[in-house]
Structure 1
């Protein structure tokens, strides 16, 4: 495919898919938790385990995808097509769950498929965009997740209100149908673009096992991308605690379901601007410092729960949505795209996503234990600790980038002086 501007049909349909991949399939669970609890039962700690199962599936998916792409580099589009359609169907299937085990299996499958879809949709979409506009394109795609959050919040009166016990089931069916439609639309525009432009056959530059080793050395080297990966890991840990237990906290405080849903939608609405602003910012300042600034503000926002004041809690939630919900994934995506070879981008993003998924798994386990031991307010606020660690590692990555730039400038000056 020939490269395009950030504003194109592939980016648009990618964003619609991310409504499902992030907003519906993964984060709607936290929104529907009170309703699910009334039907299936169990404590928030026990239900949090099902969130852990979802992210275990997500981790397994990311670990499987990298060798799969390396083994079948020419079948990326086929794998993505099947994955996105199945993701919509599994959402529909999960709506018919009647007990923990059944819902757990569906959540595992959804996590596994959403991991595949996250990496493949981003990889395919980024290939079609000019390098100078990939930050904006990434922002446009990730804001689909914010739109999914916004829409999920609007379902609140029908999903968490005690008078609508089965509302969460109907919502998941609707979301699944939308997911299948978005998958078909994305496949249509990608197929049309691939048919319109002759695609050169890929060349084998190095054996698959050597390529895989190269990717791991690149990502886990402390002089290259290790701090960026560590930041992504701790962001996954912190943000999932916040998004899993925020709505249960609000409901526990006696907030009407409509208002709780509006808070959730407010996070998504703020995230719409976050996707655009974050994408422009990372194109303008492609640095770990840019990432760290958003994470720092998000840390402050997550601390709003500590005040036990609803105004500051809502203000903090809006801040999280505005500067540190979509920003870390899209900026990590854009930074990786800048600093890894083209052929290694999909495997690199898959491995980075695996670390992110590991953080989410640990986060749901730790968050559930904290909630059980110390209650929902402290449990939600604990997310700020891990967001702060993510900000610190992002800043270290920015410092490392700065040192490398200075070293490069000095080498250039020395070469010029030699002439």
Structure 2
């Protein structure tokens, strides 16, 4: 079946899945951290390690995906279906954790499944969209993550307030049920649209030969190296901010309702981010566009250093508006423009592995900084990673302009 516009049932259900894949399964942990600490105990450094465990699972998932796709080239839809269903169920399982070991195991599995789901949902959904509208479609899908952040913040009075010790458990169960429903809806929509195609034996052999050049393509400084290393540093920076922002606000005595609204504000701003970022990358498909969003995000992080709640809120809103969803959607869109369809899933999984590696390093460094210098300095340290990501994105834009990357053959 032919490709569709950016607005279709496939992208809608994909966006709802990203509510779960990003907003619920990964970033809700930072929101629920104070409640989890009251029940399970531990320092923020130890709880930060559990965040690292989640992203180790995420890295393992991305590394497993490439050989999995190569081995089962005609089973992408089946793998995605099972992964998304299991992701919803593991969210429910994590709510039943009684100690660090159990929660750590669930967080690892959730990270693994969310990595696979991120790449496959994007890949399957992009196959259903006309090339000229894939930036907008990517924005629509990624804004699901912002919606997840927004909804998670609304749970704050029931997950942060000491009067509701078990609130985070009930929230995760609710999120898991929603995840199962979204997985079923996306699977039904893609089957109905006939999105998935089965490659011939000749196409499969061609893919095997060309996939050998994927690493050389991505790690070439004249092609995508600056882009994926920017993605790495963004992963490290944003996860430090999102892991320790809520604990910092709670430590300052900010009421749970206001804390939740700040978190939801990031998600609300991110809803516009997905639309604006998608439009921008379609019109200006350049690393410079990505660098601008990352630079503004770096400025937003510094709002927390003012010790002023208003500036902290404005900074958080700026991050949500221009540099929360923008880097992932722009990175995936830029790769989608310049990489052949049959190599996209593999290339995206490798780029996502760089992103996951950054997310592993971020909480470790952030946890150390928090333990030594306090929560405020720990959150502010994310600006260093964001600034490096912006610089690398700018270098990628410079490389695009100098060598006209989009016009180069894939084998060069």
- So what's the TM-score if we normalise by structure 2? 0.97
Counterpart in 2 of 1:416? Answer: none
Give 3-state SS (helix, strand or coil) of 2:285's partner. Answer: coil
- Supply the RMSD in Å over aligned alpha carbons: 1.6
Counterpart in 2 of 1:392? Answer: 391
Give 3-state SS (helix, strand or coil) of 1:74's partner. Answer: coil
What is the Cα deviation at residue 156 of structure 1? Answer: 0.1
Asked whether the equivalents of residues 297 and 319 of structure 2 are also in contact (C-alpha less than 8 Å), the reply is yes
Q: Does 1:23 align with 2:23?
A: yes
d(CA) in 2 for partners of 1:18, 1:270: 16
* CA separation of 1:46 and 1:200: change in aligned 2, threshold 3 A: closer
Counterpart in 1 of 2:135? Answer: 135
Q: Does 1:268 align with 2:267?
A: yes
CA-to-aligned-CA distance 1:279-326 (integer Å, 9 cap, x gap): 000000000000000000000001111111111111000000000000
Moved over 2 A (4+): 197-213, 405-409
Give 3-state SS (helix, strand or coil) of 2:324's partner. Answer: coil
Give 3-state SS (helix, strand or coil) of 1:204's partner. Answer: helix
- Range that drifts further, 208-217 or 239-248: 208-217
Asked whether the equivalents of residues 4 and 129 of structure 2 are also in contact (C-alpha less than 8 Å), the reply is yes
Correspondences of 1:96-135 after superposition (within 5 Å)? 96-135=96-135
What is the Cα deviation at residue 194 of structure 1? Answer: 1.4
What is the Cα deviation at residue 208 of structure 1? Answer: 5.8
| Structure 1 portions without partners, runs of 5+ | 410-419
Correspondences of 1:408-419 after superposition (within 5 Å)? none
CA-to-aligned-CA distance 1:42-63 (integer Å, 9 cap, x gap): 0000000000000000000000
What is the Cα deviation at residue 368 of structure 1? Answer: 0.4
What is the Cα deviation at residue 101 of structure 1? Answer: 0.2
d(CA) in 1 for partners of 2:207, 2:282: 31
Counterpart in 1 of 2:331? Answer: 332
CA-to-aligned-CA distance 1:343-380 (integer Å, 9 cap, x gap): 10000000000000000000010000000010000000
Counterpart in 1 of 2:157? Answer: 157
Asked whether the equivalents of residues 71 and 208 of structure 1 are also in contact (C-alpha less than 8 Å), the reply is no
What is the Cα deviation at residue 263 of structure 1? Answer: 0.1
d(CA) in 1 for partners of 2:284, 2:232: 22
Correspondences of 1:294-313 after superposition (within 5 Å)? 294-313=293-312
Q: Does 1:380 align with 2:379?
A: yes
CA-to-aligned-CA distance 1:45-91 (integer Å, 9 cap, x gap): 00000000000000000000011101111000000000000000000
d(CA) in 2 for partners of 1:9, 1:125: 10
What is the Cα deviation at residue 200 of structure 1? Answer: 6.5
Correspondences of 1:229-378 after superposition (within 5 Å)? 229-378=228-377
What is the Cα deviation at residue 202 of structure 1? Answer: 6.5
d(CA) in 2 for partners of 1:339, 1:391: 21
Correspondences of 1:54-69 after superposition (within 5 Å)? 54-69=54-69
* CA separation of 1:407 and 1:217: change in aligned 2, threshold 3 A: closer
- Range that drifts further, 212-221 or 289-298: 212-221
d(CA) in 2 for partners of 1:237, 1:78: 31
How many residue pairs end up in the alignment? 408
CA-to-aligned-CA distance 1:10-56 (integer Å, 9 cap, x gap): 00000000000000000000000000000000000000000000000
d(CA) in 1 for partners of 2:204, 2:349: 20
Q: Does 1:167 align with 2:170?
A: no
Asked whether the equivalents of residues 400 and 406 of structure 2 are also in contact (C-alpha less than 8 Å), the reply is no
d(CA) in 1 for partners of 2:36, 2:214: 41
